[in-house]
Amino acid sequence: MRSFRVILIFSLVFALAAISMYAARLPELALLARSGPEAVGTARLVKYWNENLADKMGFRVKQVEESRANYYTKVNNTLLAGAKTPDILVSYSAFTALYARSKMVLDITDYYYDNKMFPYDRNDWLPIAMDLVTFNGRIYGLPTDTNTYLLYYRVDLVKNPPNTWDELFKMAKKFTRRYNPKSPTLYGLAFYGRKEESTPMFWYQIFRSFGGTWWYSDKPAFDSYPAVKALEWVTNVIKEKIVPPDIATYEYMEILGALQTGQVAFAVQWDAAYPTLLSKKQSPLIYNKIKAAPVPGVRLPSGEIRRAQSAHDMTLVINAHTQYPKKAFEFIAWATADPVAVKIYGETGLSPSHKSVLKDKDILAASPQLAVKIPALNKWGYAEPKIPDYPEMKDLLATYLSRAWALEMPPTEALKTANQKIYEFLKGKGYYK
């Protein structure tokens, strides 16, 4: 009996050693992720893959996290340097045109349309989601999330959310204590203001709902009548002190805090905030008093409300210099489109870019924003300008929007200056002769 036990123990040790040696022989692809909620979601995908699919597919995946500060600069500098790793990177759809021109990431179009490489439902994507990762008909990444802004409002104060920007202005003023001493909130509204990528995207929604377009034929149109009207709306809100006085410093956490502490009755905030706001643990003062709606718009003579939902994808892209392009694609295809992976990711409170999630009660319970955002994106979603130098162009615009937010420049002057700077920048890049 003792010798049998010894043999059994040695057999188990040998088997475990063999498994470890086999696992060690499997190639391991590196995935670079930005710390925060998205990294939690991708980490769960990586864990599932390694535990259930690695042996079958012949490779493992290791996630490496970087801080959120300057994350995209690190991503693009890494790709530009030509390093072979990381093999897969979490990136952002605003870089799609840049990636197409620079060839820093793999053009995955042929893999995507190969049914063996992509055995998933291509019709289940939100149309805007795939539009955001496509440039000149070629695909440069696959979306994990498609994000947009929502209007959050206090249901204990407001029965129905405002449909237009003008209605929002009036209702927010009513819940500003400066004008209504009995207001339960100190200010009526919060939105983005810091010179970051989110501020132009917030403003775009007002601009486009007023009828704005990116271009006059081929030249930038950020000084157009709709652009001025949109920026005047923002500066009027600030001048009337309907928003907190430091609104020019507001980003995600500041807006979230203003809602959680009951400081404001309305806020325009990214959809990802909804699970946090509905959490009794994280938002004890307002968790049962908050709802979300599409962002407001402009009422047309026909009575229709023209809205505009800013959209961007979080994407998985493949390093053009990876040693494992096919393996990397197999992973990102599974991670973004396999029903099992979509469920894993959606149940973390994130927002998979698929129409079918509206039928999944578990995902909707974890990500209630989907019930609002998917219909809104399908109807009013739009892509930002698709040119390789758009990130720099957007930064120029943000510089002058922030000066208008701070009431340092009037809207007309800020936009005229921004538009001229953008034109000169694009001309220097060879867009105009």
Confidence of residue 18 (pLDDT cuts 50, 70, 90): very low
Strands 309-310 vs 138-139: parallel, antiparallel or unpaired: unpaired
Question: Hey, CA dihedral for 93, 98, 103, 109, is it positive or negative?
Answer: positive
pLDDT in the model for residue 9: 53
Partnered with residue 65 across adjacent β-strands are 33
Phi-psi region of 43 (alpha: psi -120 to 50; beta: other; left: phi over 0): alpha
Task: Give me the pLDDT at residue 11, please.
Answer: 53
- For the stretch 111-163, pLDDT in tens is 999 999 999 999 999 999 999 999 999 999 999 999 999 999 999 999 999 99
Query: Which residues have a Cβ under 8 Å from the Cβ of 353 and sit 6 or more positions away?
Result: 125, 126, 129, 143, 144, 145, 146, 313, 336
Question: Could you give the CA distance from residue 326 to residue 332 in angstroms, rounded to a whole number?
Answer: 10
Contact call for residues 96 and 132 (beta carbons, < 8 A): yes
CATH 3.40.190.10 residue window(s) in the chain: 28-146+312-382, 149-310
Give the Cα separation of 65 and 96 in Å (integer): 22
In contact, 428 and 410? CB cutoff 8 Å: no
Is-contact 168 189, C-beta < 8 A? yes
Residue 398: predicted pLDDT: 95
| Distances 423 to 201, 215, 219, 224, 432 between C-alpha atoms, Å | 19, 11, 7, 14, 9
Contact (Cβ atoms closer than 8 angstroms) between residue 209 and residue 296: yes
* CATH code of the domain occupying 28-146+312-382: 3.40.190.10
Contact between 132 and 143 (Cβ < 8 Å): yes
Euclidean distance between CA atoms 40 and 367, whole angstroms = 14
Q: pTM value?
A: 0.87
- Give Cα 85 to chain centroid, integer Å: 24
pLDDT (tens digit per residue) in 187-218 = 999 999 998 889 999 999 999 999 999 999 88
| Residue 252: exposure state from Cβ atoms within 10 A (0-12, 13-18, ≥19) | middle
Q: For residues 339 and 334, give the distance between their C-alpha atoms in angstroms, rounded to a whole number.
A: 8
Domain 149-310: give its CATH architecture. Answer: 3-Layer(aba) Sandwich (3.40)
